[in-house]
Amino acid sequence: MKNVSIGKEGQIGEFCIIGAPPKGKKEGEMPTRIGDSAIIRSHTVIYAGNIIGDNFQTGHGVLVRENNRIGNDVSIGSHSVVEFSTIIEDGVRVHSNAFIPEHCILKKGCWIGPGAVLTNAKFPKSADAKKHLKGCVVEENAKIGANATILPGVNVGRNSLVGAGSVVTKDVPPDTVVAGNPAKIVKRISELEQGGKTAYR
């Protein structure tokens, strides 16, 4: 594709497409920039207009739509989808089969577990639904457990933990653990132990 640049020592797997123009745009009209030492595994599709930092990795079959800003040391697992106009900061890990819709912000060092779904439409397919999209914000070092669902506009606080399978309907305070449907606070992060020691230091 035209107007695509990939930094030094990048590895691109088979059947990848990088710089695909979105609907209404021509090939090369939107620049696509990927930093040094990328590992982009087979069947990944990255649309045009993405600006991506160094040490970017994808699993197999990842889809990244247009106009995202992705930092350094970001990993997106196999078969995950990142829609357009998101911000993903340094050190974020998106595990396999996750869904990140447009207008979400994933802050530094946060972790999105396998099968987790973030949402942005309070009333899908309603009149003017597209005008009222509100993405989720996952703050620094927050962790979203496997198969959790985060509702539109929810802020998941710094250093918090969302239990696997939870449905998060309201903001999660920093340094807390929430679980259930709807998710409720169950304890503080400082109370979690693993092997007789504090799990998160």
Instruction: Kindly report, residue by residue over 129-175, the tens digit of the pLDDT.
Output: 989 999 999 999 999 999 999 999 999 999 999 999 999 999 999 99
Domains in the chain, start-ordered, CATH in brackets? 4-198 (2.160.10.10)
Q: What is the largest CA-CA distance in the chain?
A: 58
Confidence of residue 200 (pLDDT cuts 50, 70, 90): confident
Supply the pLDDT for residue 148. 98
Number of Cβ atoms within 10 Å of the Cβ of 195? 6
Supply the pLDDT for residue 126. 93
Q: Counting beta carbons within 10 angstroms of the beta carbon of residue 1, is it exposed (0 to 12), middle (13 to 18) or buried (19 or more)?
A: middle
pLDDT in tens, 73-130: 999 999 999 999 999 999 999 999 999 999 999 999 999 999 999 999 999 999 999 8
Supply the pLDDT for residue 27. 94
Supply the pLDDT for residue 196. 85
